[in-house]
Structure 1
Amino acid sequence: MTRAVRFHRLGGPEVLGIDEIEVPAPAPGEVQIRVRALGLNRAEALLRRGTYIETPELPSGIGLEAAGEVAALGQGVDGLAPGDAVSVIPPRSMVRWPLHAELINVPAEWVVRHPASLGWEQAAASWMQYLTAYGALIDIARLGRGDHVVITAASSSVGLAAIQIARAVGAIPIAVTRTAEKRQALLELGAAHALAMADGDLAAHVLAITGPSGARVVLDPIGGPVFEALTAAMAVGGILIEYGGLSPEPTPFPLFAVLSKSLTLRGYLVHEITGDPVRLAAAKAFILDGLASGALSPVIARAFAFEEVVEAHRFLESNQQLGKIVVRL
């Protein structure tokens, strides 16, 4: 038996609880992991509210990120041994493979021995944010030296990961946040420029940085009315990658900006990377190199105890955090 975070009805953080469940021995091709830390993501809040891309079967487990020690190996698993420190690539289905529990079984191809320099909390906070940002900026947009990239929701874990990846390849990250409160922190965390949407005329502020040519790449999880300002600040032939839909307002289609600048508007899910072995291998190599060198370093906003998972989700939904929320076991 093990303890697992689960919910028996849809709703806010208060629906979460810790249940005792049975964990079988790992099946062939699986790794059993004794979990030491968990990473929280917006997707988990959407799942428990019933608004995620997959539908939970109640009672449902939850969780996309975990790090811990190998406890046991299923038949046919090579290259790992009990006691190894590992972290988990986010599974394609959170309903099928929920990770927020003390003991989990996951397919071996999603298990990674991370650099020894990473602690449990940093290891649990790495894969979703860096895979998401890498897939958008490097795999799809081919971000490179001298490129201006506009990063909205920049204080989120993915936003901070995008800033670090942009700096690692010599690009110029322009961080965008809702208010000026986090501007200085974003600059200290690597943004070349930090803008607040509350200051108004976002397009003009971006163009004042880039010059009239505009930004070639935009990374956005918000949608809504900001689409018009973002496309107005883009370069001819630029690409806007949308990886979320946080705005409750309708998203206008910026027809004339798209036509006049030959823009690409591209929807993106991290499953594009995690579901393709070749692209995932390239992403893992890039991220592991960055983690080992220190070019990539997860920013932890706050850590909670396992028994405080409800409070951790409340903090996630408060939008007060700068970086990743983790849970310790």
Structure 2
Amino acid sequence: MKGIVLTAFGDPAKVLELRTLPDPTPPGPGEVVVRVTRRSIHPGNLAMVRGRFNIPLPADGFVVPGGDGVGVVEAVGEAVGPAQDVKPGARVIFYPSPGAWAERLKTRVELVTPIPDDLSDAIAAQLLPNTVIALMLLRAAKQAVPDAGCETPILLTAAGSSVARILAVAARRRGLKVVSAVRSRNGANALSERFPDLTVVSTADTDWADQVRRAAGGRPLQVVMDPIGGAMVSDLVRLLGDGGALLFYGGLVPEPIALPSVQLAHHEIMFKGVSSSRWLQTTSAEQRREDVAEAIEIGRAAPEQFELEADYDLSRFIEAITHIERADRSGAVLISSDS
């Protein structure tokens, strides 16, 4: 089979290569082999490739990146019963299952979920981990501030991203209020077209912070969700009231956060990181099943939020990576394989 392998950390265009790899060995008890048809590229994938997560390479010197996607079950091992509805020929989504940037992978059956026929591969490939991190953020917000989003809206930055759009949908399903912030006026107009009833502000406007305050009815914010970091954090902290929380889930800007610590101490503001990579360790099996079920529901109910901008063959992965880092990108970029 073909697979994209990482041999050293650095520029993805230089350290990733397409290789011929051995097919997975037959599945053992509780395991399945999946032929991967589509996988979405996430900024977190490229952060890992660049070495920003401080994860060492395995002893054999290379790793196949990726942890989620959609595919077809090719083989199941012992102890995979009918009750799990996972059998050869079933279309499934999977997460987290390392090795998704190869044509086949072997994973545990509890990490695989059958999907309905009316859910396309293009949407299914985008569901996880984007929905997982969105639901984890909503749980973290409730834990930090139990009434977050009830009266005072939650502020979402980088709100045109896939995660933030799913967050807006999931918050609305719960009756929670959100305000979305994007970098440009064009981005704000595009997001407003997607969500006509959503308050959207552009941080390019000099009075964007005042717009957020007005949207909150003049009240200090309780929760901000931010995947960017960097210099903007000091502006976000000023919007938070006593006991507020700033939830980080990306760190897309490599620059360090700089702000007077007295603001945090005086207002008892909490910083908390939320990562979908911790989902298996921090979430119960029952909650994980509920998260995946809600992801599928959102995919079926709001397909317009899963825009596909480009779909590249596995052999063209460098073009796909270049595409996902375009500043003007507005939809998902997939890597496909059909062998």
Are the equivalent residues in 2 in contact too, given 1:215–1:238 (CA < 8 A)?
A: yes
Residue 100 of structure 1 aligns to a residue whose secondary structure is: coil
Q: Give the deviation of 1:322 after TM superposition.
A: 1.8
Residue 154 of structure 2 aligns to a residue whose secondary structure is: strand
Q: 1:290 aligns with which of 267, 290, 298?
A: 298
The aligned runs of 1:84-233 (5 Å cut-off) are: 84-91=90-97, 97-137=98-138, 139-142=139-142, 144-190=149-195, 192-233=198-239
Q: How many residues align?
A: 322
1:111 to 1:297, Cα distance in 2 relative to 1, 3 A: farther
Q: Give the deviation of 1:135 after TM superposition.
A: 0.4
2:145 is aligned to none
Q: Give the deviation of 1:201 after TM superposition.
A: 4.7
Are the equivalent residues in 1 in contact too, given 2:123–2:299 (CA < 8 A)?
A: no
1:13 aligns with 2:12: yes
Determine the C-alpha separation between the residues in 2 that align with 1:117 and 1:146.
36
Question: Which letter does structure 2 place at the counterpart of 1:82?
Answer: P
Question: Which letter does structure 1 place at the counterpart of 2:329?
Answer: Q
Determine the C-alpha separation between the residues in 2 that align with 1:115 and 1:128.
18
Determine the C-alpha separation between the residues in 2 that align with 1:134 and 1:10.
30
Determine the C-alpha separation between the residues in 2 that align with 1:154 and 1:53.
27
Q: Give the deviation of 1:297 after TM superposition.
A: 4.5
Residue 251 of structure 1 aligns to a residue whose secondary structure is: coil
Q: Give the deviation of 1:325 after TM superposition.
A: 1.7
Residue 198 of structure 1 aligns to a residue whose secondary structure is: coil
Are the equivalent residues in 2 in contact too, given 1:149–1:218 (CA < 8 A)?
A: yes
1:181 to 1:35, Cα distance in 2 relative to 1, 3 A: same
Q: Give the deviation of 1:87 after TM superposition.
A: 0.5
Question: Which letter does structure 2 place at the counterpart of 1:159?
Answer: A
TM-score normalized by the length of structure 2: 0.87
Q: Give the deviation of 1:104 after TM superposition.
A: 1.0
Q: Give the deviation of 1:144 after TM superposition.
A: 4.8
Residue 135 of structure 2 aligns to a residue whose secondary structure is: helix
Residue 72 of structure 1 aligns to a residue whose secondary structure is: strand
Q: Give the deviation of 1:295 after TM superposition.
A: 7.9
The alignment yields a C-alpha RMSD, in angstroms, of 2.2
Are the equivalent residues in 2 in contact too, given 1:231–1:254 (CA < 8 A)?
A: no
Bigger drift between 160-169 and 101-110 goes to 160-169
Determine the C-alpha separation between the residues in 2 that align with 1:264 and 1:225.
17
Q: Give the deviation of 1:105 after TM superposition.
A: 0.7
Determine the C-alpha separation between the residues in 1 that align with 2:80 and 2:45.
29
Give CA-to-partner distance per residue, 1:40-80, whole Å, 9 cap, x none: 11122122222224223433211122101110002212221
Q: Give the deviation of 1:20 after TM superposition.
A: 0.8
Determine the C-alpha separation between the residues in 1 that align with 2:224 and 2:190.
21
Are the equivalent residues in 2 in contact too, given 1:155–1:321 (CA < 8 A)?
A: no
Question: Which letter does structure 1 place at the counterpart of 2:291?
Answer: A
Are the equivalent residues in 1 in contact too, given 2:194–2:305 (CA < 8 A)?
A: no
1:54 to 1:9, Cα distance in 2 relative to 1, 3 A: closer
Determine the C-alpha separation between the residues in 2 that align with 1:216 and 1:115.
38
1:312 is aligned to 320
Determine the C-alpha separation between the residues in 2 that align with 1:295 and 1:144.
24
Question: Which letter does structure 1 place at the counterpart of 2:215?
Answer: I
Question: Which letter does structure 2 place at the counterpart of 1:316?
Answer: I
1:322 aligns with 2:330: yes
Residue 172 of structure 2 aligns to a residue whose secondary structure is: helix
Q: Give the deviation of 1:323 after TM superposition.
A: 3.5
Are the equivalent residues in 2 in contact too, given 1:150–1:217 (CA < 8 A)?
A: yes
Q: Unpaired segments of 5 or more residues in structure 2?
A: 143-147
